[in-house]
Chain A
């Protein structure tokens, strides 16, 4: 199974809402990632979890809060977002335990987020 799943596919939220994005992989990968992608731009790394511990935080605002409950699951908690946070949020996983630059990354289908 080389699939990474993400829910929900689409999310519309107001600036005062709290919501969560979910990601799951069953490939036994030890590194999981959150990326943000704006239209016509490459994915931008937000967070890296290695062996369920946060190893990289790319100076992401605190309104984004990641969580890794176990080796297969990754959540991204959202609170008090701004309209400019509207984007495609991609989850990925890889076997590598560092930043993932040496290993293939498997991406989920993404959550398309709109902040009103």
Chain B
């Protein structure tokens, strides 16, 4: 079945450092979504990318969708302690349209 993997699994950074998580799908995706889950919280939608090569920015967060629409990345510039949490990418299964979540990257930011 379709698989969506993320690397790294876990990263800790000093506040102010940059952070990037990478998402790779075994199949082409019609879109990619990113969610953030704070410790003890629930997934919260961040953004959706649809076009090949698309880049979107939200303040310090930059999201990119690969040209082949099989990979994506999330880059955070100058991390803050409020960025702590697990970041999940998710894409639709091409046969059923079910949303398949990536394995997640857990970010820890030390002040």
Contacts from A to B (Cβ < 8 Å): 40-43, 45, 48, 56, 88, 90, 96, 98-102, 104-110
Q: B48 at interface (Cβ–Cβ under 8 A)? A: yes
Q: Which 9 A-B pairs have the closest CB atoms?
A: A101-B92, A42-B101, A99-B98, A99-B97, A101-B97, A98-B97, A107-B42, A101-B99, A104-B45
Please give the distance in Å from A63's CB to the nearest CB on chain B: 22
- Closest A residue, CB atoms, query B45: A104
Please give the distance in Å from A23's CB to the nearest CB on chain B: 12
A-B contact count (CB 8 A): 62
Q: B69 at interface (Cβ–Cβ under 8 A)? A: no
Q: B15 at interface (Cβ–Cβ under 8 A)? A: no
From B43, B44, B97, A100 is in contact (CB under 8 Å) with: B97
Please give the distance in Å from A1's CB to the nearest CB on chain B: 15
- In whole angstroms, what is the CA distance A56 to B100 when docked? 14
